[in-house]
Amino acid sequence: MALRGPAGLGPGCRRPLDEAVAAAEGREAPGVLAAGGAPEDEEEDDGRGRGLLRWDGFSAWLHCVCVVGFDLELGQAVEVIYPQHSKLTDKEKTNICYLSFPDSNSGCLGDTQFCFRFRQSSGRRVSLHCLLDQFDKDLPVYLKSLVLISKLPYIHFFHTVLKQIAPEYFEKSEPYLEAACNDVDRWPAPVPGKTLHLPIMGVVMKVRIPTCHDKPGTTQIVQFTQQADTNISVILPTVHEVDLFRCFCPVFLHSQMLWELVLLGEPLVVMAPSPSESSETVLALVNCISPLKYFSDFRPYFTIHDSEFKEYTTRTQAPPSVILGVTNPFFAKTLQHWPHIIRIGDLKPTGEIPKQVKVKKLKNLKTLDSKPGVYTSYKPYLNRDEEIIKQLQKGVQQKRPSEAQSVILRRYFLELTQSFIIPLERYVASLMPLQKSISPWKSPPQLRQFLPEEFMKTLEKTGPQLTSRIKGDWIGLYRHFLKSPNFDGWFKIRRKEMTQKLEALHLEALCEEDLLLWIQKHTEVETVDLVLKLKNKLLQADREHLPVKPDTMEKLRTHIDAIILALPEDLQGILLKTGMT
């Protein structure tokens, strides 16, 4: 599945897809539910009767579905794009062709699923992509891949969809694919917080769309009685999370060090034997700092044919902040200058535990047959938490299910990330001006500047030691983090949220004023100017989705109407006709 969102949407264009992507990225999805709306877990209708145009329902989930074929004589080619009106540039088609098949003799036999990302021609990076390959084992000269392209990073969900439709498609061809796409077009929109029943080719999947407030690893889907769910074929407790322990299993002794590397946005390469293992491991790394969003680029599966190959492998500058998943042995030489390389063997099936890899010096990564290991010279800032290691090792000895191990590991990462981010949240909140400093007749006050040294001083009394048992150089970790893309992305979002909050408080302060009394003391010109400014405030609140209470907006409209009626008739007519500019 590949994810690619509709380009060219203006800032005021709000669609369910945008809200779902925002929630998946851990940021607020504005305007999802109005006051008095349905509760979060209310089940959605079938999506019809909302005035949707043909393929609008499909576009809320997928950009398109592609069939990519590989012939030994002709090479790769996109054979089918459905719906047929879907747009892909030649560059995007080329990327999809090469990413749809193994990049080397990786031993992928039969059907396999994996995901990849590619960059939109507009420069925007799309979300995660997964696909299924199939080839004739008796005559391995022709391979075919079914690829779902979407902006939504619902990897587990789309993997499940592919398991349902891909085997049948390879037998029945295009009519079956068209019917499956028609089913998707009837699905309700992926509104965060909604529990949906999604039928596709005779199978009904029950899913819950995550929100930005969900905690990682928590199953929020409502489990109904067996009788009420007799029509449900598949219940998915999550649409986007991976089997964390299975992916970290070969390296769980070093999981805390890998958490630091991902947190700091360090360049990281995962060398795996197959695209499936590569993509799963990269996704697990990106998810390990949740609920903090990973703001750098990451490629679950990356090939030597990728359009960014030269950009990411050049030796003329430092490696970029990106996580690459690769399978081609050629990368062992091409990326030898990268500071952190994880080399893994075959991921074992659930219940089997691979041998733990060791941390090794980068200079030892010389040959194509280098042993599995974490090749880095990085010295962790924090001391290793031996308790979580013992807990996971005990689970291995007791043959605890991988799902249970994943819950333990995910909770550990969550608590570690929260312990790290809470002091930052507390300090950033202190940058907010006091509410009493907000005057309705002045522009909203500015946020105070983030001062790293001032923040460091707060750690002595309100640092991570309040919530974490882990010792180490926390201050050094924070100093490094403040220079990383993850901090830049996180602070940009927090600053925007607080600025919007200030604008909302300013609106509320305006609404509490006696504006009719104010206009009695001012000229008509000043009154007209006030009306125009208030109208622009309303427009801004709607355009930027400011966190304003509905009654505040209504009160402001009432104020505007009252002021206009207090003016002479000629001015009333002009202002009533004047829209919000």
In a domain, 21, yes or no: no
> Do residues 260 and 382 make contact, with C-beta atoms less than 8 angstroms apart?
yes
Residue 105, C-beta contacts closer than 8 angstroms, at least 6 positions apart: none
Number of structural domains the chain divides into: 3
- What is the DSSP annotation of 292-350? S---SEEESS--TTSTTHHHHH-SSSPPPSEEEEE--TTHHHHTTTSSEEEE--PPPPT
pTM comes to: 0.83
- Identify the CA nearest to 96 among candidates 68, 65, 124: 68
Q: pLDDT confidence of 4, banded at 50, 70, 90?
A: very low
DSSP secondary-structure letter at 52?
Answer: P
Q: What integer pLDDT is reported at residue 287 of this predicted model?
A: 92
Residue 176 has pLDDT above 80, yes or no: yes
Summary mean pLDDT of the chain: 80
Where is 461: in which H helix or E strand?
helix 452-462
Best mean pLDDT range from 138-152, 439-453, 481-495: 481-495
Q: What does the alpha-carbon distance between residue 557 and residue 282 come to, in Å, rounded to a whole number?
A: 50
In a domain, 371, yes or no: yes
In a domain, 226, yes or no: no
> Do residues 501 and 547 make contact, with C-beta atoms less than 8 angstroms apart?
yes
Residue 382 has pLDDT above 80, yes or no: yes
Compute the average pLDDT of residues 403-429. Answer: 94
Torsion, CA 461, CA 464, CA 468, CA 471, rounded to 10 = -90
Domain match, 531 and 482 both: no
Domain match, 472 and 568 both: no
SS percent in the chain: helix, strand, coil, step 5? 40, 15, 45
Domain match, 403 and 326 both: yes
**Which of 172, 189, 206 finishes a domain?**
189
Residue 328, C-beta contacts closer than 8 angstroms, at least 6 positions apart: 103, 104, 303, 304
Q: Please identify which residue in the block is written with the tokens 């200058």.
A: 337
Domain match, 429 and 367 both: yes
Residue 436 has pLDDT above 80, yes or no: yes
In a domain, 6, yes or no: no
Structure-model confidence comparison of residues 128 and 22, the more confident one = 22
Buried-state track 96-117, b at ≥16 Cβ within 10 A, e below 16: bbbbbbbbbebebeeebbbbbb
Give the range among 8-22, 92-106, 306-320, 516-530 with minimum mean pLDDT. Answer: 8-22
Amino acid code (one letter) for 376: T
- What is the DSSP annotation of 229-289? TTT-SEE-S-SS---HHHHHGGGGGGHHHHHHHHHTT--EEEE-SSHHHHHHHHHHHHHTT
Q: What integer pLDDT is reported at residue 356 of this predicted model?
A: 64
CA geometry: angle at 85 spanning 83 and 90, to 5°?
105
Domain match, 475 and 560 both: no
Domain match, 467 and 391 both: yes
Structure-model confidence comparison of residues 439 and 6, the more confident one = 439
Structure-model confidence comparison of residues 40 and 577, the more confident one = 577
Q: pLDDT confidence of 122, banded at 50, 70, 90?
A: low
Q: pLDDT confidence of 220, banded at 50, 70, 90?
A: low
Q: What integer pLDDT is reported at residue 170 of this predicted model?
A: 82
Residue 50 has pLDDT above 60, yes or no: no
Q: What integer pLDDT is reported at residue 439 of this predicted model?
A: 86
Amino acid code (one letter) for 90: D
> Do residues 279 and 116 make contact, with C-beta atoms less than 8 angstroms apart?
yes
Amino acid code (one letter) for 436: K
Residue 529, C-beta contacts closer than 8 angstroms, at least 6 positions apart: none
Q: What integer pLDDT is reported at residue 543 of this predicted model?
A: 87
Number of Cβ atoms within 10 Å of the Cβ of 297: 17
Structure-model confidence comparison of residues 237 and 421, the more confident one = 421
**Which of 160, 189, 218 finishes a domain?**
189
Residue 433 has pLDDT above 50, yes or no: yes
If phi over 0 gives left and psi between -120 and 50 gives alpha, with beta otherwise, what is residue 306?
A: beta
N-terminal to C-terminal alpha carbon distance within the chain: 42
Domain match, 295 and 375 both: yes
In a domain, 417, yes or no: yes
For 492-549, how does the pLDDT look when each residue is reduced to its tens digit (9 = 90+)? 999 999 999 999 998 888 888 888 888 888 888 888 888 888 888 888 888 888 888 8
Domain interval for residue 77: 56-189
Q: What integer pLDDT is reported at residue 373 of this predicted model?
A: 84
Percentage with pLDDT > 90 across the chain: 30
CA distances from 153 to 61, 212, 435, 551 (A): 10, 13, 38, 35
Residue 456 has pLDDT above 90, yes or no: yes
Residue 248 has pLDDT above 60, yes or no: yes
CA distances from 16 to 59, 65, 446, 453 (A): 10, 20, 32, 41
Q: In the numeric block, which tokens belong to residue 309?
A: 């190959």
Q: pLDDT confidence of 464, banded at 50, 70, 90?
A: very high
Q: What does the alpha-carbon distance between residue 53 and residue 528 come to, in Å, rounded to a whole number?
A: 42
> Do residues 579 and 560 make contact, with C-beta atoms less than 8 angstroms apart?
no
Domain match, 526 and 385 both: no
Domain match, 377 and 254 both: yes
Structure-model confidence comparison of residues 256 and 237, the more confident one = 256
Q: What integer pLDDT is reported at residue 252 of this predicted model?
A: 83
Q: In the numeric block, which tokens belong to residue 22?
A: 């925002």
CATH number of the domain within which 338 lies: 3.40.50.11500
Domain match, 119 and 182 both: yes
Q: What integer pLDDT is reported at residue 421 of this predicted model?
A: 96
Domain match, 533 and 443 both: no
Residue 369 has pLDDT above 60, yes or no: no
CA distances from 470 to 219, 335, 389, 463, 466 (A): 28, 33, 13, 12, 10
Burial of 220 (0-12, 13-18, 19+ CB in 10 A): middle
Q: What integer pLDDT is reported at residue 316 of this predicted model?
A: 85
In a domain, 4, yes or no: no
Q: In the numeric block, which tokens belong to residue 323?
A: 């996580």
- Identify the CA nearest to 156 among candidates 106, 195, 115, 187: 115
Domain match, 523 and 573 both: yes
Best mean pLDDT range from 6-10, 121-125, 170-174, 448-452: 448-452
In a domain, 328, yes or no: yes
In a domain, 34, yes or no: no
Backbone angles phi, psi at 342, to 5 degrees: -105, 120
Q: In the numeric block, which tokens belong to residue 425?
A: 């949240």
For 419-428, how does the pLDDT look when each residue is reduced to its tens digit (9 = 90+)? 999 999 999 9
Q: What integer pLDDT is reported at residue 49 of this predicted model?
A: 45
- What strand order describes the sheet that includes 268-271? 297-299, 322-326, 268-271, 340-343, 373-376, 358-360
Structure-model confidence comparison of residues 279 and 579, the more confident one = 279
Instruction: Tell me the Cα Rg of the chain.
Output: 27
Percentage with pLDDT > 70 across the chain: 78
CA dihedral sign of residues 313, 120, 19, 244: negative
Number of Cβ atoms within 10 Å of the Cβ of 244: 29
Q: What integer pLDDT is reported at residue 212 of this predicted model?
A: 76
Residue 306 has pLDDT above 90, yes or no: no
